[in-house]
Structure 1
Amino acid sequence: MTVDRADGPADGLTPVLRPVRAGNGFEEALEQILQIVRLGLVPGGGRLPAERELAERLGISRVTLREVLKVLQDQGLVESRRGRYGGTFVLARSDAGGEDELRRRVAGVDVEDVLRFREVLEVGAAGLCAAHGLEYERAERLRQALARTRDAPLGDYRRLDTLLHLTLAELCGSPTLTAQYAAVRATVNELLDCIPLLVRNLEHSQRQHTALVEAVLDGDADGAREIMREHCAGTAALLRGFLA
């Protein structure tokens, strides 16, 4: 996979991991690593990047990073393992719990606001990428993100789908938009995790992904925005259906 060196390591975490601002290093580092866990970018049983790398990418000391990881461990989200193959590993999440759990999570969320904000960010990102164009290396990143979603195991599809959307958000060139999208996508995933993966829906979604990437790479900004708007509407309809 070819990656623009300025974009950092090609581990799928680049859209979320970024240097924190001075003064709130602990809080912002905790927020970012929580997003990685909530978005499923490192699946259950998977290992986070090494402490040295994480600290460098976040722009914090290893002492601060260890404090962050201690909080996550206390919350039962990660565990630390020693030895040659040690590191910090994300713990597998328990079963989502179906419609009852979905309703519990929805109780504290303004679903319509979340879905509208997601649509605004995603449609905007798609239009910007198409209008401004992507040089070869960035275009290749988008192609590879799409390729990973094809024939993905059902249990891994949502993570790879999330990574494709995060990649598009990052490539639009606005770090602020990328950060806001990561946050809203985490909330959407919390809801999606409570409903079943439907093969027919995933097939339709994949056709939209392919058309979207083609429109972006062709520089068709209007087409990219319209495809993304329809794609977001499909997810919204699915969630509303389970909530009805």
Structure 2
Amino acid sequence: MSRQSSAPTPTAGLNSDLLLGPVSGTNTFEETVQRLLQTVRLGLIAPGARLPPERELAAKLRVSRDTLREAIGSLAEAGYLIPKRGRYGGTFVSEVIPTPRVNATEPLAGDPHPSITAAEIDDVLTLRDILEVGAARAAAGRLLTPPERELLWSSLGAAVNAGADEYRRVDARLHLYIGELAGSPSLVPLLADVRMRVNELLDAIPLLSPNIAHSNQQHEQIVIAILTGRPDTAAEAMREHLSGTALLLRGFLD
């Protein structure tokens, strides 16, 4: 006798594939996490069910198996997936899916503003994109002094060398300094306000090691574009960087 599952099982090979199409753009890790999160949280693969085999899933998403493993490992650490070894192993969806904390009806210990809505998330991310992409463009268009250049480079180094417990603090400092280099004193307070709101969202999702490494690579691209006086390149690098964070926030919190 087959055991009946309490959760509805999606049609095999149809619904489960809706969000597992090719990943595009440069934020492959973040978008892979987002696709898997959406698939799990929308029930396209039921709790307790197994994901497609790694080789097949990587082919569907058109990402490397290393990227896929990093995404699966990060989501396993966050409680969404369970890797199992052995003959009947694979990657399984957790029986109990974690609830996005910012939308919880009852706040958990340390959770800031659990009533934040999807519209508010969109508002914060849109404002951040407008301000920070423009700041990177403006900073790259200025003739920086030697002390400004040195401080920008050292701020990048601090982010690269930061441990997990201090990463978000030094990451925020780097972004705010780029805003300061834009040359508008009125801009920095606006950036600081937006960053406070972004940090409230970031505090509600796991800190993923592969995302930190990827973010630092993008930070370097942004900083080098600023130091070499390429406004368009700096703006595009910042836009790509912010889109990676946005993918994770929307994946975990929407």
Using structure 2 for the length normalisation, give the TM-score.
0.55
Aligned to 1:57: none
Task: Indicate the RMSD between aligned Cα atoms, in angstroms.
Answer: 1.8
Answer yes or no: is 1:162 the counterpart of 2:172. yes
Q: Does 1:209 align with 2:210?
A: no
Structure 2 partner of 1:75? none
**Residue aligned with 2:162, SS:** coil
User: How many residues get paired?
Assistant: 148
Equivalent position to 1:192, from 189, 202, 205: 202
The Cα of 1:233 is off from its aligned counterpart by 0.6
Q: In the alignment, what sits opposite 1:241?
A: 251
Deviation at 1:111, TM superposition (A): 1.3
CA shift for structure 1 position 171 = 1.4
* 3-state SS of 2:205 partner: coil
SS at match of 1:233: helix
Q: What amino acid is the match of 1:143? A: W
* Residue 99 (1) aligns with residue 97 (2): no
Tell me the secondary structure at the aligned position of residue 215 of structure 1: helix
Deviations 1:81-129 (A, max 9, x none): xxxxxxxxxxxxxxxx983246524239611111011011101110011
After TM superposition, which residue ranges in structure 1, 4 or more long, deviate above 4 angstroms? none
Q: Residues 102 and 253 of structure 2 are in contact (CA less than 8 Å); yes or no, is this contact kept in structure 1? A: no
Asked whether 1:231 is paired with 2:241, we answer: yes
Q: Shift of residue 154 of structure 1?
A: 0.8
| Cα displacement (A) at 1:151 | 2.2
- The 8 Å contact of residues 101 and 253 in structure 2, kept in 1 or not, is answered as no
Instruction: Give secondary structure in 2 for the equivalent of 1:168.
Output: helix
Structure 2 CA distance for aligned equivalents of residues 137 and 212 of structure 1: 18
User: In structure 2, do the counterparts of structure 1 residues 105 and 217 end up closer, same or farther at CA, with 3 Å as the change threshold?
Assistant: farther
Cα pair 1:133 1:216 within 8 Å, conserved: no
Q: For the residues of structure 2 that align with 1:133 and 1:188, how far apart are their CA atoms?
A: 30
Match of 1:130 in 2: 140
Q: Which runs of 5+ in 1 are unaligned?
A: 1-96
* Counterpart code for 1:99: P
Q: Is the 8 A contact 1:98 1:194 kept in 2?
A: no
1:180 aligns with 2:190: yes
Amino acid at match of 2:100: E
- Secondary structure of 2:161 counterpart: coil
Larger fraction in helix: 1
Scaled by the length of structure 1, what TM-score is found?
A: 0.58
How has the CA–CA distance of structure 1 residues 135 and 211 changed in structure 2, closer, same or farther, with 3 Å as cutoff?
Answer: same
| Percent of aligned pairs with the same amino acid | 45
Answering whether residue 155 of structure 2 is matched by residue 145 of structure 1, we say yes
CA distance in 2, matches of 1:141, 1:200: 26
Alpha-carbon separation, structure 2, partners of 1:107 and 1:208: 28
Letter of the aligned partner of 1:233 in structure 2?
S
**Per the alignment, in what secondary structure is the counterpart of residue 155 of structure 1?**
coil
